[in-house]
Amino acid sequence: MINAAGISLIKSFEGCKLTAYQDSAGVWTIGWGTTGRAGLGIDPAEGMTITQAEADHWFEKGVNKFAAEIAPLITAPINANEMAAFTSLAYNIGTTAFAKSSALRHFNAGDKMAAAEAIQLWNKAGGKVLNGLVRRRSAEVALFLTPVPPEPAPQRASISQSKTVQASAVQIASAGTAGVGAFAALDGTAQIVALVIAGVIGLAALFIIRERVKAWASGWR
């Protein structure tokens, strides 16, 4: 399934009718723009009615089908909004037409602006420009060109997962090991100096851990 923005876009332009009707091109349609040409297993005809649950089922099946069919045709890196816009286009014009479109060709060539302009060419039905299609293509282009924000960094479930705390713990352990080693390998003044250095390192690490714990308690992850 494509992202929520894409789902909302398609539904806003398709609308939902539970009784079969003929679209602007004379094709029998039902639910959220579902036609027999989609190859979903339902062939709307005059007098046919379905429930809202059935309409939603055919819509989800249709969106997934078109997204799956166009995915192999796309050879350039694509983000969620671009994929949603392309799926909306394919849902409206069909996979075959999308596969032959200049929008796809420009996108695969790395020219996204040319691809966006090419989307808007699909504004006709029966050889006539339709205002509804002009608006839909404009909405698809707007979604296509909308940047996708980066994924937020996952929050740590425990303070023990903090890299800072982990590193400080290692420092404390190393300082302890150094202190023990001082007694074994050194004597006199050298031993005292080694112990002082180890103590300073350990205290610094403890301070870092204390500050990190305070930050965790205040909600910073």
List residues with catalytic annotation. 14, 23
d(Cα 90, Cα 67) in Å, to the nearest integer? 8
Task: Select from 30, 36, 33, 35 the least CA-distant residue to 18.
Answer: 30
Give residue for tokens 């679209």.
23
Q: Is 21 helix (H, G, I), strand (E, B) or coil?
A: strand
Residue 34 CB neighbours (<10 A): 27
* The token pair that represents 113 in the structure block: 């602006």
Stretch (H or E) spanning 94 = none
Asked whether the CA dihedral 56, 59, 65, 69 is positive or negative, the reply is negative
Quote the strand ranges of 56-206, DSSP E: 124-125, 128-129
Whether the Cβ atoms of residue 169 and residue 209 lie closer than 8 Å to each other: yes
Q: Are 83 and 64 in contact (CB under 8 A)?
A: no
